[in-house]
Structure 1
Amino acid sequence: MAEDIKAKLEKYRTAPFDARFPNQNQTRNCWSNYVDYYRCQKALDAKGLDTQPCEWYKRVYKSLCPISWIQKWDEQREDGTFPGKI
């Protein structure tokens, strides 16, 4: 399984189509992948496992989200005021 993830990450160019977000507006897709990345990190860290599979979410949200949004959300997470459940 880890080899499959590594192979996908090597071939990664941009966010693939996600059937949950079929419209042109990809704001929710951006948000979901950002939150999923940190949830994945938290869950795998708690179990003491390798967090490499989480990198997929990070690459997707970095290709979809404006940098200013990411910076704002990072600041909110650090301050403890982030509106999402991680």
Structure 2
Amino acid sequence: MLGIDIQKPPKGKWHTPPFDPRFPNQNQTRNCYQNFLDYHRCLKRMSRRGKSTQTCEYYFRVYHSLCPISWVQRWNQQIKEGTFAGKI
């Protein structure tokens, strides 16, 4: 559906995401989750409009930097199964 299996981090030198004023605390769990949602919403929106999904790369890089791999794998599996709790 969204090409979830083939996702790889984009090339380039960017190890940590920039500061996001929405998440000023040390605990970045909400930041991770929100960027995961934003990435999938961006993909959905751009695909509907027939535009390039390259603009969604920012969210992809942020959630790949912040989120544990096990969470991302679980969320992607839930999306495939249609049981993901977030609104995409």
Q: TM-score, normalization: structure 1? A: 0.86
| Equivalent residue number for residue 22 of structure 1 | 24
TM-score by length of structure 2 reads 0.84
Q: Name stretches of at least 5 consecutive residues in structure 2 with no aligned partner.
A: 1-10
Query: Over the residues paired in the alignment, what is the CA RMSD in angstroms?
Result: 1.2
Cα offset for 1:13? Answer: 2.9
Q: Deviations over 1:23-80 (max 9, x none)?
A: 0000000000000000000000000000001011000000000000000000000000
Q: What's the CA shift for 1:11? A: 5.4
- Percent of aligned pairs with the same residue? 60
Query: Partners of 2:31 and 2:86 in 1: how far apart?
Result: 14
Partner of 2:3: none
Answer 1 or 2: which has greater helix percent.
1
**Structure number with bigger Rg:** 1
